[in-house]
Amino acid sequence: MAIYSPRNVATQTHTTYTFSSSSLPLFNSQSFHHFTCALQHMALWSAPGASQQQLIKSDHRSTMGMYDDSMMMKQILATHTPDGRDVDVKPVFQLIEDILNRATLQVSSGDNAVQAQMEIEDKAQQASFIAMIEAISFAIDRVSCEIAYKALSGSDAHQTTVSLFNMLAAYSWDAKLVLTLAAFAINYGEFWLLAQIYSTNPLAKSMAILKQVPSILEHTGNLKSRFDALNSLIKVMMDVTRCIIEFKDLPSMYITQDVPAFTTAISLIPTAVYWTIRSVVACATQITTLTSMGHEFAFSASEGWELSTLTHKLKTIYEHLRKQMAVCYQHIDERKSLEAYQMLLNLLEMVHIDNMKILKALICAKDDLQPLVDGSTKKRVNIDVLRRKNVLLLISDLNISHDGLSILEQIYTESRQHTPRLVNQYEVVWIPIVDRSIPWDETMQNRFEYIQSQMPWYTVHHPTLIEKAVIRFTKEVWHFRNKPILVVLDPQGKVVSPNAIHMMWIWGSNAFPFTSLREEALWKEETWRLELLIDGIDPELLKWIREGKYIFLYGGDNVEWVRKFTTAARTVSNSARIPLEMVYVGKSSKREQVRRVLAAIMAEKLSYYWEDLTMVWFFWTRLESMLFSKIQLGRADDMNPMMQEIKKLISYDRDGGWALLSKGSQIVVNGHGTTVLPALLEYDMWKDHVLTKGFDKSFKDHHDKLYSIAHPCCRFEFSTHGGRIPDSMKCPECQRVMEKFTTFCCCHNDNVPGN
């Protein structure tokens, strides 16, 4: 036991305590420090005639405006002499968080309480953590005693803070801060621990009485404003500390000193550390005062102002640090995305034994164990189900049309039912692409789940599994905009078609294995015939073709033109006594106008029509796919007559009405409304030739005469959301290179991507 004896010194107004040197061996460094700290406190409270309350209140008035920030920080920076020691502050900070979250007037619980994760299974890690705590415990005790002594002695807050910086000079900035917070947490936690258990624990009860805890708690109503101010300041102290630790953990491989936001934050950290430690001193003073003076000690306006000012100042610092942190994370994210993007480029240039590396890079870079959902069972599955198969990546956003989805589902299902050999040879996987800048909300989640539920093939479990680098890759390399594309990977993960969606619309599963070579071969087999335009859409039309009937396909959105055309065609067919059928196929856009035309056709029985607008959509999608397929193959300006006629038909759709006449499978006339209708109305001028030439030849000859005079111009429109757009095109009418214009078109009746 230490031996000490008081002696009066006549020239001083306080009592001095000495201790025998023979007692020193009984002390280790830590217990010696606690002992001297106790003596300092005893010396303070033995001051005769001193008004303790006046002493503390007068010396703790805020002096925050007394120091010029630049001079103050020069003083603080001068104390910083780190010796290279490394302190892992994160586990210590976890303990501090746990203590301060539980040590409140109303005990935190549930989600707000930060649970300390101290159950370390790895013995080596556990030993390392214990060794670290032992290494820093002396520093924490010194800081704790220093704060308590300075608080009771009435020292200036700034000078107290400077003394703490001198004491912690050898530590890094984050370590200084965490050690100081640990010292505060021990004292603050002890107070609230006693408050929470003294009523049930005899030992705690005795200790609580000595610290005046019961008395303080009896007056919590009067002390509420003080604790509210303390809690607000403690919260922002923790926020700033967490942010500083976060900065230290930023990966150096992605962020360096040449990043302005990082440099700015690093230069601000000493200031942030100073004001946080200064706030610790202010909070500790309040608690020390309460436990030493009791609840009667008044909470002055200047003290309240000091706490609120410190809170405001730290909030400002924290907000600035968070802004810099956000910029740093954006920079890191961009660097990581660039790295991942380059990795994708490299992977696709390499030769692989199977498709797993490619698919994992595209679908589950984060090693999600079950990134896919099986469309048939709706259960999550591993990506291995795609190993060494032909994989069709259906890439789209959440605005994929219902029409497109239903047609694709029909093609997929029929291929499974009627072509068993394909079941195990190719799989479809939906890759949902969403704009990461738009917050994910319930509406988007519901939309995603609805689309996913409609798909019978594999789908990615959630859009968040798709990395930003993959999104960039699909747009820059595979030219995905907003319209769905179907990228085909062979069993080794090689891209064999950058977009097979056009093949799928035109030929369905007959296009297997959906390679560009297969696409070329299919085109070589095609001819300009009616089946090319309507195959897979309407069995009734195929029946008419087999019967050798004359068939008019016609379209447009002008009801009056439709009335005139159908009336004229019916009159001519009756007069020429030919079996004629007419089919209204609508228009590629302006769905509401098409509905109005359909209503008139239905009411007036003008012709046969497709009541289901999905059939109208599929007709025009297939037609446009024929052009896009050629563009993708680099054959948009092929002189092939079939391609010229396809381009004419697409152009006619953009401007007014049109009609295409076939006799059975053979297409006779493909004309604009300005030439087809007059040719019918002028039947009397060519009817005499019907008996000798036949109806089809006679009609074509007269139409061609009108066409040579009218010569309607062609026009093509390519949506910027549609992916690949040709650099140039020749007019199918005159073979001149067409001019390129930028058009802004309002299509509020249609589902336009991006609107």
Give the integer Cα–Cα distance in Å for 315 and 551: 77
Q: Radius of gyration over alpha carbons of the chain, in Å?
A: 41
Instruction: Assess whether 274 and 379 both reside in one domain.
Output: no
Question: What is the CB-side half-sphere exposure of residue 133 using CA atoms within 13 A?
Answer: 14
Asked if residue 418 and residue 484 are part of one domain, the reply reads yes
Residue 525 lies in a domain: no
pLDDT in tens, 711-732: 555 555 555 555 556 666 565 5
Within this chain, do residues 669 and 714 fall inside the same structural domain, yes or no? yes
Percent of the chain at pLDDT exceeding 70: 76
pLDDT per residue over 538-550, tens digit each?
999 999 999 999 9
Does some domain include residue 13? no
Please name the residue that has the structure tokens 């097979």: 500
Contacts of 189 (CB under 8 A, 6+ apart): 99, 100, 102, 103
pLDDT digits (tens, 9 = 90+) for 459-513: 999 998 999 899 999 999 999 988 899 999 999 999 999 999 999 999 988 888 8
**Residue 50 clears pLDDT 60, i.e. is over it:** no
The pLDDT tens digits for 663-678 are 999 999 999 888 999 9
Sign of CA dihedral 690, 691, 693, 696: positive
DSSP lists the bridge partners of residue 372 as: 381, 460
Is pLDDT at 5 greater than 50 in this prediction?
Answer: no
Residue 218 lies in a domain: yes
Q: Residue 323 has what pLDDT?
A: 92
Shared domain for 573 and 706, answered yes or no, is yes
Q: Is the pLDDT assigned to residue 127 strictly greater than 80?
A: no
Residue 402 falls inside a structural domain:
yes
**Residues 579 and 684 placed together within one structural domain of the fold:** yes
pLDDT band at 51 (very low <50, low <70, confident <90, very high): very low
More confidently predicted of 229 and 487? 487
Question: How would you label 186-201 residue by residue, b for 16+ Cβ within 10 Å and e otherwise?
Answer: bbbbbbbbbbbebeee
Q: Which helix (H) or strand (E) holds 504?
A: helix 501-507
Are residues 698 and 726 in contact, defined by beta-carbon separation less than 8 angstroms? no
Q: Mark whether 394 and 301 lie in a shared domain.
A: no
- The predicted structure's pLDDT at residue 205: 78
pLDDT at 295 over 90: no
pLDDT for the residue 100: 86
- In the chain, pLDDT over 90 holds for what percent of residues? 40
pLDDT tens-digit readout, 153-183? 777 888 889 999 999 998 999 999 999 999 8
Alpha carbon distance 189, 180 (integer Å): 14
With a cut of 60, say whether residue 570 has pLDDT above it: yes
* Contacts of 346 by beta carbon, 8 Å cutoff, 6+ apart: none
Amino acid 640: pLDDT: 79
pLDDT of residue 558: 92
Predicted local distance difference test score (pLDDT) of residue 85: 80
Task: Check residue 95 and give its pLDDT.
Answer: 86
- Residues 223, 361, single domain; the answer is no
Cβ-based neighbours of 478, under 8 Å, separated by 6 or more: 395, 485, 487, 498, 499
Contact 496, 514 (CB under 8 A): yes
Residue 642 has pLDDT above 70, yes or no: yes
| Six token digits for residue 497 | 């078609």
* 55 against 255, higher pLDDT: 255
Confidence check: pLDDT of 745 > 70: no
**Residues in contact with 368: Cβ distance below 8 Å, sequence separation at least 6, in sequence order:** 461, 465
As given in the structure block, the two tokens for residue 21 are: 């040197």
Considering the domain architecture, whether residues 314 and 450 belong to the same structural domain is answered as no
Say whether both 174 and 284 belong to one domain.
Answer: yes
71-85 tens-digit pLDDT: 888 888 899 898 888
* 315 occurs within a structural domain: yes
Question: What is 401-431 written as a DSSP string?
Answer: -HHHHHHHHHHHHHHHHH-GGGTTTEEEEEE
**CATH number of the domain bearing residue 428:** 3.40.30.10
Of 482, 513, 544, at which residue does a domain stop? 513
Q: Lowest-confidence range among 39-48, 284-293, 310-319?
A: 39-48
Q: How many angstroms separate the CA atoms of 278 and 76, rounded?
A: 12
- Least confident segment among 95-104, 228-237, 523-532: 95-104
- Conformation bin of residue 142: beta by default, left when phi > 0, alpha when psi is -120 to 50: alpha
Q: Tokens representing 91? A: 């586990």
Check whether 586 has a pLDDT greater than 70. yes
* pLDDT > 70? residue 615: yes
CB contact burial 116-146 (16+ within 10 A = b; e otherwise): eeeeeeeeeeeeebeebeeebeebbbbbbbb
User: Looking at residues 575-601, what average pLDDT do you find?
Assistant: 92
Q: Which residues pair with 17 in a beta bridge?
A: 6
Q: Model confidence at 14, in pLDDT bands (50, 70, 90)?
A: very low
How far is C-alpha 596 from the geometric centre of its chain's CA atoms?
41
CA distances from 62 to 44, 72, 229, 329 (A): 21, 15, 15, 37
Residues 491 and 534 in one domain: no
Q: In this structure, what DSSP letter does residue 439 have?
A: P
Q: What is the mean pLDDT of the chain?
A: 79
Q: Are residues 173 and 310 in the same domain?
A: yes
Q: How many domains, the chain? A: 3
Assess contact for 650 and 539: CB atoms under 8 A. Answer: no
Q: What is the DSSP letter of 486?
A: E
What residues pair up with 19 in beta bridges, in sequence order?
A: 4
**What does the pLDDT average to over 313-333?**
91
Range(s) of the domain holding residue 182: 86-100+131-333
Q: What are 399-437's pLDDT values in tens digits?
A: 998 888 998 998 888 888 766 666 667 899 999 999 888
Query: Is residue 80 one of the residues assigned to a domain?
Result: no
Asked if the structure places residue 494 within a domain, the reply is yes
| pLDDT reading at 33 higher than 70 | no
* 401 & 320 share domain: no
Residue 65, pLDDT score: 41
Q: Is residue 518 part of a domain?
A: no
**What CA–CA distance (Å, rounded) separates 510 from 597?**
35
- Residues in CB range of 499: below 8 A, 6 or more apart: 478, 479, 485, 486, 487, 628, 632, 723, 724
At 299 the pLDDT is 52
Whether the per-residue pLDDT at 257 is higher than 70: the answer is yes
